[in-house]
């Protein structure tokens, strides 16, 4: 039996990602990292959680291994499994094991979407043990001193069946994210999409209108990410109303009446 570990060196972020701090999240994350404390990011879709993790990985000069969690994600997907290759059985580390061994930052995005057995795996990594049980190998791997565990979820989408238990939550330092204030969000949209400041401000105003509809027909309003998508289309010559329809309205709802209402909002601004 041979063991194979994928090289996490390819996960280093070489260029500084664009990120605008909204509060003290950078200093808090750095303090948590220095104390080997795991971090929980809470906030709505598209508000900058993933970009923040990319920025912190670059800032701390650590490789970043990101896992987008889903209903079929199992503990074995994270830790690793035996595979038959070329007539022999080899062990292949999963992304969490790779991060633990290499001292990388492992970011589990939307952790509550994963199957419940994944929580059993991350608990010993998220407390003083900082260890990863690898039952199939019969070993417990102590985390590299540089290893960092970060998870995220969107409280607005969670139900009783998909929520973080207190036994999990109370292992983490929590950072709450939200959309930036209007002026900062316009600055981000302009910088990321290439549109001018005036148009970025109108996109942000449009987003705020859609966010006011949350709970009144929309599950979520337009995120900063969607504004950037629309801005990029506009920067390439797509008319603003059409850009808002394709990049924002169609992304946040399929309901015909709500689509019409959102389109009216964009038409009133562009």
Q: pLDDT tens digits, the chain, 270 residues: what are they?
A: 455 445 655 689 999 999 999 999 999 999 999 999 999 999 998 999 999 999 999 999 999 999 999 989 999 999 999 999 888 999 999 999 999 999 999 999 999 888 888 888 999 999 999 999 998 899 999 999 999 999 999 887 655 456 788 889 999 999 999 999 999 999 999 999 999 999 999 999 999 999 999 888 888 899 999 999 999 999 999 999 999 999 999 999 999 999 999 999 999 999
- Rounded to whole angstroms, the Cα distance separating 242 from 258 reads 16
CA dihedral 173, 176, 181, 184 (to 10 degrees): 50
End-to-end Cα spacing for the chain? 64
pTM: 0.90
Alpha helices by DSSP H, listed for the chain, are: 25-34, 49-60, 75-79, 95-102, 117-122, 166-169, 182-193, 197-211, 224-235, 240-244, 250-252, 256-269
90's tokens: 């080899």
- Rounded to whole angstroms, the Cα distance separating 179 from 191 reads 16
Using CB atoms within 10 Å of the CB of residue 14, give its burial: 0 to 12 exposed, 13 to 18 middle, 19+ buried.
exposed
């Amino acid at each position: 039996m041979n063991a194979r570990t994928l090289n996490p060196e390819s996960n280093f972020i070489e260029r500084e990602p664009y990120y605008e701090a909204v509060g003290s999240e950078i200093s808090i994350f750095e303090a948590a990292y220095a104390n080997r404390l795991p971090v929980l990011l809470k906030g709505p879709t598209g508000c900058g959680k993933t970009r923040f993790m990319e920025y912190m990985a670059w800032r701390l000069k650590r490789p970043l291994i990101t896992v987008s969690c889903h209903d079929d994600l199992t503990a074995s997907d994270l830790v690793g499994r035996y595979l038959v290759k070329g007539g022999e059985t080899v062990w292949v580390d999963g992304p969490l094991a790779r991060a633990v061994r290499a001292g990388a930052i492992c970011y589990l995005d939307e952790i509550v979407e994963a199957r419940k057995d994944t929580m059993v795996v991350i608990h010993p990594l998220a407390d003083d043990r900082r260890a990863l049980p690898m039952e199939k190998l019969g070993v417990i791997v102590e985390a590299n001193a540089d290893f960092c565990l970060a998870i995220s979820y969107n409280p607005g989408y969670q139900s009783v069946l998909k929520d973080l238990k207190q036994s999990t939550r109370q292992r983490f330092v929590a950072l709450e994210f939200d959309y930036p204030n209007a002026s900062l969000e316009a600055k981000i949209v302009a910088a990321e999409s290439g549109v001018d400041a005036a148009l970025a401000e109108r996109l942000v105003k449009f987003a705020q209108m859609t966010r006011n509809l949350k709970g009144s027909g929309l599950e979520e309003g337009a995120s900063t990410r969607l504004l950037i998508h629309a801005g990029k289309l506009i920067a390439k010559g797509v008319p603003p109303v059409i850009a808002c329809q394709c990049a924002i309205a169609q992304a946040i709802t399929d309901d015909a009446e709500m689509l019409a209402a959102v389109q009216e909002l964009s038409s009133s601004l562009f």
